[in-house]
């Protein structure tokens, strides 16, 4: 079940691996299947078009939920009697505390290994996968990139990323509209990325829900495109407010669309005053070097 909520109760994590799955992950077979509450049979569905020959239960794989080495904010329970015979129990607990806790563990896991994780978010069709295909090809021999690919259904995007040359895990969230920290924990362990590398977590295409779920990333990147219209920062302020970087994609199409870039920059500054804006075209490569430079500056030194 999903770490914070259980919404993606049928989520399926699939490693499109170019090497054998380690023994601690259950030996042969690449599919990590999230079980429990009300799953929807995606494993059977996906088995037709993913590189897998055996699945195994999440229970073999999921990390424990002990409290060593980290803190919860729900340590204190206050109980008081109320006149009708019931009791009021003071909780003062964040609803997403469980997700936040798992995200923090992911962050620690990544820090210990010297890995840069980026949470890449956008609306559907902004060009996330095209950007990652190009990034993979352009960075061959310069930086090591792997991808956690989130979609409701299909392994289409993971196939594209794999064909471009990156290692990739596909997470199908079923009815879930976002990735959560538990799914990413599984994805990371499936990928086992090398120290000094970059993991891009391509979130489910959605400008609303992913904003609320910390995944343990180092930075949040929002990808927008000129074909979506210039009004998105004001329409989806929660998403943009948390962005460290906004990539404005498809700038090669600016001559053909009604997109007021000055207005966009003004609105973005209101919605996300801290965010850096880079204008790129993942198709032509215009401006893309600045994205690579931004990534390179954030890669931690490799650990032994």
Question: How remote is the C-alpha of 176 from its chain's centroid?
Answer: 13
- Secondary structure class of 225 (helix, strand, coil): strand
Nearer to another protein, 1 or 145 (CB): 1
270 touching another protein, by CB under 8 A? yes
End-to-end CA distance of the chain: 34
Q: Contact between 90 and another protein (CB under 8 A)?
A: yes
- What is the smallest separation between the CB atom of 91 and another protein, expressed in angstroms? 5
Q: How far is the CB of 32 from another protein (least distance, A)?
A: 20
Instruction: Indicate the residue among 90 and 108 with the shorter CB distance to another protein.
Output: 90
Contact indicator for 128, 291 with CB cutoff of 8 Å: no
Binding string, residues 5-34; x marks residues near another protein by CB under 8 A: xxxx--------------------------
Q: Which is nearer to another protein, 87 or 262 (CB)?
A: 87
The residue to which tokens 């949040």 are assigned: 220
Of the candidates 226, 173, 169, the one whose C-alpha atom is nearest the C-alpha of residue 52 is: 169
Phi, psi of 299 (to 5 degrees): -70, 125
How many CA atoms are closer than 13 Å to the CA of 100, on its beta-carbon side?
A: 11
Does 257 engage in binding with another protein (CB under 8 A)?
no
Give 1's DSSP letter.
Answer: -
**CA 188 to each of CA 8, 102, 216: distance values in angstroms, whole numbers, following the listed order:** 18, 13, 11
Question: Looking at 273, 297, 301, 304, which residue binds another protein (CB under 8 A)?
Answer: 273
How many residues touch another protein (CB under 8 A)?
Answer: 42
Of residues 48-87, which lie at the interface with another protein (CB under 8 A)?
74, 77, 82, 85-87
Instruction: Write the DSSP assignment of 252-303 as a string of letters.
Output: GGGGGS---HHHHHHHHHHH-TT-EEEE--TTT-TTHHHHHHHHHHHPPPPP
User: At closest approach, how far in Å is the CB of 231 from another protein?
Assistant: 12
Query: Minimum Å distance from CB 177 to another protein?
Result: 5
Q: Least distance in Å: CB of 154 to another protein?
A: 17
Residue nearer to another protein on the CB measure, 36 or 54: 36
Q: Which of residues 131-160 bind another protein (CB under 8 A)?
A: none
Q: Which residues are bridge partners to 206 per DSSP? A: none
Among 49, 63, 70, 94, binds another protein (CB under 8 A): 94
Binding site for another protein (CB under 8 A): 2, 4-8, 74, 77, 82, 85-99, 175-178, 180, 208-209, 211-213, 234, 237-238, 241, 269-271, 273
């Amino acid at each position: 079940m999903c770490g914070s909520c259980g919404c993606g109760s049928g989520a399926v994590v699939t490693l499109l691996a170019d090497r054998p799955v380690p023994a601690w992950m259950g030996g042969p077979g690449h599919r990590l299947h999230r079980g429990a509450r009300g799953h929807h049979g995606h494993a059977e569905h996906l088995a037709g078009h993913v590189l897998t020959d055996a699945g195994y239960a999440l229970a073999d794989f999921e990390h424990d939920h002990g409290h060593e080495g980290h803190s919860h904010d729900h340590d204190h329970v206050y109980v008081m009697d109320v006149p009708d015979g019931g009791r009021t129990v003071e909780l003062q607990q964040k609803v997403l505390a469980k997700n936040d806790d798992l995200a923090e563990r992911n962050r620690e896991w990544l820090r210990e290994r010297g890995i840069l994780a980026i949470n890449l978010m956008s609306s559907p069709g902004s060009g996330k996968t095209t950007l990652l295909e190009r990034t993979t090809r352009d960075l061959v021999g310069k930086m090591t990139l792997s991808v956690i690919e989130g979609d409701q259904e299909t392994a289409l995007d993971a196939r594209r990323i794999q064909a471009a040359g990156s290692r990739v895990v596909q997470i199908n969230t079923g009815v879930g509209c976002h990735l959560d920290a538990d799914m990413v924990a599984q994805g990371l362990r499936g990928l086992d990325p090398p120290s000094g590398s970059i993991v891009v977590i391509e979130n489910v295409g959605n400008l609303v829900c992913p904003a609320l779920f910390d995944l343990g990333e180092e930075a949040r990147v929002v990808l927008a495109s000129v074909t979506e219209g210039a009004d998105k920062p004001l329409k989806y302020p929660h998403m943009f407010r948390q962005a460290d970087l906004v990539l404005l994609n498809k700038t090669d199409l600016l001559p053909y669309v009604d997109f007021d870039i000055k207005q966009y920059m003004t609105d973005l500054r209101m919605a996300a005053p801290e965010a850096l804006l880079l204008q790129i075209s993942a198709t032509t490569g215009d401006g893309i070097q600045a994205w690579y430079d931004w990534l390179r500056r954030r890669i931690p030194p490799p650990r032994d």
